[in-house]
Structure 1
């Protein structure tokens, strides 16, 4: 879910659609309502379909061992998609109270016991997760679809590096390509394993260099 307090006119998404659908897995075609709130809008279907094609290939379709973290959950389109495909556990983080209520309602409707929903600021929750011990404190997949133009990736990606399991993947949406010749300092140590663009949305899969 991409959010922005001030959405530029050059980055429109279809605001007439009040729901999106899970693309594949156990809950395929299940509708997910889109909260009628300024700046809340779902990741486009085309992007999600491409992303999960990438992930199925890189994970060899083995979702059962995937512990997933969605730090900007919004509608839950990314997190519920991962759960639908068999992820062992999905932790969704969302700050908007209305969106959290909606996520909890969807979780109950789907009886999605593998989904945990946390209300809070992504940075604070990430720091709290870092204080945990044990296998559940490491994630094989982290979704980052933060508001644009607030330097979220620069702030949160270093923390994600500490939460990521060996060989794990980070999905990152941005208003710019992250595989440019001159990468920002905060991207040092990361390898862009997949990247594409849809409209004004740049989306990537990242993995730590070994």
Structure 2
């Protein structure tokens, strides 16, 4: 389902183009995982700056914006998905969302101006080396206490990033996908 299920924009549908499911690498976060994640995030998000690094349908970035974060930044390199995100943002008139048509690595290198309280890295089929590189890059823009939501087909131990000082707060497994809520220590 493509609905925002909580917050100010509760019950609003995120419209998706009819042919969007045919796009390569289109794998939105399953509803079970999304609900589980937001049950884990029962915290005040008012001053949070959030980054949805691989937005796709935007379900996570829009949900966190609806819950009242200060700013939700959505990154999407696919032009069709990016335009779809913009249409939903404009239709809902969500002021606390910024959307960029670029990949995560380019954004962090050239455009980033923030330190994040919450980052979604939810491209479960991302290659192991890109996943590791994503975590290392974003770690420079996280504060002590920041949260990372990670969705992957890999076990967290495969990443071998012990030098980042992270603690897994919650984790679960659904339909070949491992997902984690991680805190920066």
Identify whether the pair has TM-score above 0.5, normalized to the shorter chain: yes
Contact persistence 2:8–2:66 (CA under 8 A): yes
Stretch of structure 1 that moved more, 187-196 or 163-172 = 187-196
The 2-side partners of 1:147 and 1:199 are apart by: 11
The 2-side partners of 1:55 and 1:49 are apart by: 10
Q: How does 1:1-210 map to 2 (within 5 A)?
A: 20-34=2-16, 35-36=20-21, 37-56=23-42, 59=43, 62-129=44-111, 132=113, 137-146=114-123, 148-151=125-128, 152-178=130-156, 180=157, 183-188=158-163, 189-209=165-185
Stretch of structure 1 that moved more, 187-196 or 144-153 = 144-153
The 2-side partners of 1:149 and 1:117 are apart by: 21
Q: CA RMSD in A?
A: 1.6
The 1-side partners of 2:162 and 2:39 are apart by: 24
The 2-side partners of 1:104 and 1:197 are apart by: 31
**Unaligned residue ranges in structure 1 (runs of 5+):** 1-18
For residue 9 of structure 1, what is the aligned residue in structure 2?
Answer: none
Report the secondary structure of 1:191's partner residue: strand
Contact persistence 2:124–2:153 (CA under 8 A): no
Q: Moved runs in structure 1, 4+ residues, more than 6 A?
A: none
Report the secondary structure of 1:192's partner residue: strand
The 1-side partners of 2:176 and 2:183 are apart by: 23
User: 1:150 offset after TM fit, Å?
Assistant: 1.5
User: 1:176 offset after TM fit, Å?
Assistant: 2.2
The 1-side partners of 2:51 and 2:159 are apart by: 24
Contact persistence 1:67–1:138 (CA under 8 A): yes
The 2-side partners of 1:72 and 1:42 are apart by: 10
Deviation string for 1:87-110 (max 9, x for gaps)?
A: 110010000000010000000011
**Unaligned residue ranges in structure 2 (runs of 5+):** none
The 2-side partners of 1:47 and 1:101 are apart by: 25
Provide the aligned length of Structure 1 versus Structure 2: 179
User: 1:149 offset after TM fit, Å?
Assistant: 4.8
Q: Provide TM-score, normalisation by structure 2.
A: 0.90
